[in-house]
Amino acid sequence: MTEKQVGVGMYNLNEKDEIWGFNRRWTIFSNIIWVNISERLVSLLGPVAKRQIYEVGYSSGKLAGERIRPHFGGGIDQYKQHVGLTSAMGWGNPEIKNYNEDTGEIVVEYPNLWEAEGFSELHPDEKSESPTCIMAAGLAAGAAEGAMDVPYEAEEILCVSKGDPVCKFILTPAGKEKKVMK
Ligand SMILES: [Zn+2]
């Protein structure tokens, strides 16, 4: 492990030991806590819970994208910057594999996404039958809308929790019908 600091310059601890950055307070949780909450909701409510968790991510990603737009200017360049910011926040080492200017499709991969690592911590030696990175998918699509100014939909087509080498998200400008997450 290197001596790299998390979110260098983005966060400060105030006199009350609160973490502040971007004019908001932040809290550090372990990956496993979120995955535990998410799994319990999904086990009770199924796809409805998945879609709601996705929407939590989406609305947050969109808001963040809108907030940074005055600084980064929108478009695919902003999306790249936004993904870079989340990397500095410890979410993983994302790589934008492709952007199709004609269709607006963005392909992004994470070898070590926090949500997948939470799954493996909660279930050592187990593989999930379906992708687990629901919140991250929503965040990615919301950040895309925040940058590109059109609604996006994310689909996770590979997931480390399933045994794939990376979590791979396809982000496409959304149609009217929202996909049901399975
Ligand atoms: Zn995943």
Q: Is the pLDDT of residue 180 over 70?
A: no
- Nearest Cα to Cα of residue 116 among 84, 93, 148: 93
Measured in Å, residue 70 CA sits from the centre of ligand 1 at 31
Burial class (CB in 10 A: 0-12, 13-18, 19+), 76: middle
Measured in Å, residue 13 CA sits from the centre of ligand 1 at 31
- Nearest Cα to Cα of residue 50 among 146, 177, 156, 173: 156
- Give the rounded percent of residues in the chain with a pLDDT score beyond 70: 92
Write out the two tokens for 95: 């790589």
d(C-alpha 55, C-alpha 164), whole Å: 25
* Strands of the 95-99 sheet, one edge to the other: 95-99, 106-110, 167-173, 152-158
Measured in Å, residue 110 CA sits from the centre of ligand 1 at 8
Measured in Å, residue 68 CA sits from the centre of ligand 1 at 26
Measured in Å, residue 65 CA sits from the centre of ligand 1 at 22
Q: Dihedral (C-alpha) 53, 57, 58, 61: value to the nearest 10 degrees?
A: 180
Measured in Å, residue 12 CA sits from the centre of ligand 1 at 30
Q: Over the stretch 156-166, which tens digit does the pLDDT of each residue have?
A: 999 999 999 99
Measured in Å, residue 157 CA sits from the centre of ligand 1 at 9
In which band, very low, low, confident or very high, does the pLDDT at 72 lie, cut at 50, 70 and 90? very high
Neighbours of 34 (CB within 10 A): 15
5: DSSP letter: P
What structural domains does the chain harbor?
A: 30-173 (3.30.1380.20)
Measured in Å, residue 126 CA sits from the centre of ligand 1 at 14
Burial class (CB in 10 A: 0-12, 13-18, 19+), 10: middle
In which band, very low, low, confident or very high, does the pLDDT at 152 lie, cut at 50, 70 and 90? very high
| 3-state SS assignment for residue 80 | helix
Measured in Å, residue 162 CA sits from the centre of ligand 1 at 8
Q: Over the stretch 11-66, which tens digit does the pLDDT of each residue have?
A: 899 999 999 988 889 998 899 999 999 999 999 999 999 999 999 999 999 999 99
Mean pLDDT, rounded, of the chain: 91
Residues around ion ligand 1, judged by CB within 5 A, are: 116, 133, 159, 167
What's the pLDDT at 109?
A: 97
CB contact set of 110 (below 8 Å; sequence gap of 6+) = 91, 92, 93, 94, 95, 116, 133, 136, 160, 166, 167, 169
Higher pLDDT, 7 or 82: 82
Q: Over the stretch 105-126, which tens digit does the pLDDT of each residue have?
A: 999 999 999 999 999 999 999 9
Cβ contact 112:134 at 8 Å: no
Report how far apart, in Å, the C-alpha atoms of 48 and of each of 55, 94, 110 are: 11, 28, 25
In which band, very low, low, confident or very high, does the pLDDT at 6 lie, cut at 50, 70 and 90? low
Measured in Å, residue 23 CA sits from the centre of ligand 1 at 30
